[in-house]
Amino acid sequence: MTPQRVTLITLGVANLDTSRSFYAALGWTATQAQEGVVFYQMNGLVLALFGADDLAKDQGRAGATLGTGAMTLAQNFTDTAAVDAAYALALSAGATALKAPEAVFWGGYSGYYADPDGHVWEVAHNPFWPLDADGSLTLP
């Protein structure tokens, strides 16, 4: 079997400087930056920004038009005020509003925004899913 894990998330981006500025405005610090690629240390995994054309080529399909939106990266928070703050900060950094945070049917509180390339982030509070001390998530 293949281990049940994710070690790296790579976002294909139209303009590396634009995307890097967006994530910097959220308060994020790049851990490594090389020619054409930026790496952020996350909670036990790494997030990368990489040119979408380069990503298509790397994936073995140079020239392909890559889509976005069918995958959500979520950040869970310990309370609704932190969700509101994260959403407001993203919009002030230039994110596209998709859904303002609100109470949702499953008993939590959730909003969505899109980054400069259309990659979708959810910001949420789930009272049934407490976070570990380091911000990681272990299902109850």
Q: What is the DSSP letter of 23?
A: H
Q: Does 72 bind a copy of itself (CB under 8 A)?
A: yes
**Contact call for residue 35 and a copy of itself (CB under 8 A):** no
d(CA 16, CA 37): 8
Residue 122 touches a copy of itself, criterion: CB under 8 A: yes
Strand, helix or coil for residue 84: helix
Distance, in Å, from the CA atom of 111 to the CA atom of 106, rounded to the nearest integer, reads: 13
Which residue ranges make up the site for a copy of itself (CB under 8 A)? 1-12, 26-29, 31-32, 39-47, 52, 55-56, 58-61, 64, 66-76, 85-86, 89-90, 98-99, 110, 112, 117-120, 122-124, 131-132, 134-139
